[in-house]
Structures are given as structure tokens and as C-alpha cells.
Amino acid sequence: MMPLQLLDASSFPHARCMDGSPAGFYLARNRSSPDWIFELQGGGECASRSGCLSRAATALGSSLHFPPSATLSFLLQDTYANPHLRSWNRVHLPYCSQDLWTGQRTVRSRETFDYYFSGHLIVDAVLTHLERHSDLGAARRIILTGESAGGIGVWPHLDWLAQRYPRATVVGAPIAGFYFYAHPYTGPGHTASHLADFREAAWPGHYALWQSFVDESCAAAFPTAPWRCLLSNSSWPYVSSRAFVSEAQSDKVVLTAHIGRPSFRAVKASLHSYWCE
């Protein structure tokens, strides 16, 4: 169990959760290791007043609900579960910005439903804090990983991270984060979702709402449509850093929450009803 470390609001005034509370992180420190792994937590995203309201008073929108200590997901210090990375410096960043870790909003307003979207600023602040209070600047190897929304957030930060630490080998390991535009199914048994619209036409609005940070090379390739770079389906050809992608072709969130396909349970019930009749 690692204790929560909240960022000092006076030093990092822009690293805020949606509700304005200070962001934070959990750290398993090994002073004898020059290697670091950072994990971006997942947890969806929001781009509407109602969608953001449902998250703002939870740990997905406020550090007031972060647990005071936490296990580090799959970054455990366990010889069997994590034999190769257990001795690394391991940092877990809890997700409270709901912007796929890309937001750069420093002021909340009616336009943002009175919320902050500061995902990228949180990542930057955590790194700056660790540079000041550890030897992160002398890192030898750095892995950036994350799941779902955290996996999506890996892509815009990879080359930025490599440029920030030029003496380190920087690689990515996004899990369930290789995303693409949704083409929703609206036929019988289709599912509804509280997540943001992933159709192509929706992304300019998401990009503007969050004031997103995206991969620099990708943005240069799409000067009139940098919002395309929010998803790796467009950005990965422009990312120079190496990445090992873990993606299930039957990802439940993709199929039911973003595409609207009937859930397995619904299909099973439908087949049962058909054969019983």
C-alpha cells in the first residue's frame, strides 16, 4: 500500500482535478534504481454537462475521493506477478480530469461546465515534482503505460517524454488504448453509454473543450485538424518512440460503450428466447 501524495497547489496551481482539488500520485520509490514506470489510470471521459456532473463528485473527478493509500495495480512489488519491474520506481497517477489525460484548461467557465480539464498539466506537474525531489532527471529507462483512457493518454505523451529525458530510453505500453473513430450500431438490442461520443464528427468539439495536448509531429501533419491526433489510429504513424500495444479485438468498452453492439448477456438472452419459442 503506497500513500497518496497530493501536489502542492501553490507550486502547481494548474494541476487540478475537475472540481479544482489538487491532483496527486502514488509512488513506490527505489533510490537504488535508475528506472521508472508511470501508469496513467483509466476511467472514461466526459464532454457534456450531464456526463461530467456524474463524475465530478467521485474519484474520477476529485482528489477529495482518492483513497489515502493504494496498491499499484499491476505494478505490485511481487516476484511472481511483476518479476521484471518490481524493483523499478513505480508511479501510479489517479485519473480525475476526464479528458483522456490531454487537457490544458487553466480556467473553468460556463464553456467548460464550470470544471477544469487538466490531464496533461497533471502529468507535467507530477514529473516536475519528482524531478525536484528525486533523481528522475537521471533516469536510464522510462516506461509510460496506462489502461483504457490511460492507454489513450500514453500516445500524446510518448515523444514529449522522450524529448524531456533525452538520456533515457523511453517506451510506451498502452493497454486497451489503441482507439479509432466509432461507427455506432443502432439496430435491435443496441446499447447506450454514458461515455463521450467517439464518432469522427465529435472530436473537434472534444479537442476544443479540453484544449487538448497532442503529439507535436501528428499535429504538424494535420494543421487544420489537430483533433485527429487525440486517437492513436491517426497519431501512431507520427510517434517516434517505441510502443508495445496490448489491445483486445473484443474489447467490451469499445464494442458496447462506443459502438453500441449488444452485450453478450443480451445476445445470449435473445438466443435463449428464440429457441424457447
Query: Residue 127: its pLDDT value, please?
Result: 98
Of 40, 136, 130, 129, nearest in space to 93 by CA: 40
pLDDT value of position 266: 54
Binning the chain into helix, strand and coil, the percentages to the nearest 5 are: 35, 15, 50
Cβ within 8 Å of residue 191, ≥6 positions away: 256, 257, 260, 261, 262, 263, 266
Distance of CA 198 to the CA centre of its chain: 15
Q: Is 197 exposed, middle or buried (0-12, 13-18, 19+ CB in 10 A)?
A: middle
> How far is it, in rounded angstroms, from Cα 58 to Cα 44?
13
CATH of 2-276, one of 3.40.50, 2.60.120, 1.20.144, 2.60.40: 3.40.50
Quickly list DSSP for 153-212.
HHHHHHHHHHHH-TTSEEEEEEES----------STT----SSPP-SGGGHHHHHHHHT-
**Residue 227 backbone phi and psi in degrees, to 5:** -60, -25
Mean pLDDT, rounded, for 186-204: 86
Distance of alpha carbon 86 from alpha carbon 76, whole angstroms? 6
pLDDT tens-digit map of 237-265: 999 999 999 998 888 788 887 888 786 66
Across 203-210, average pLDDT: 98
| Mean pLDDT, the chain, whole residue set | 91
Beta strands in 15-68 (DSSP E): 24-28, 35-40
Q: Are 44 and 95 in contact (CB under 8 A)?
A: no
Q: How far, in Å, are 100, 113, 249 from residue 215 at the CA level?
A: 13, 26, 25
The pLDDT assigned to 108 comes to: 95
Render pLDDT for 7-43 as a digit per residue (tens, 0 to 9): 999 999 999 999 999 999 999 999 999 999 999 999 9
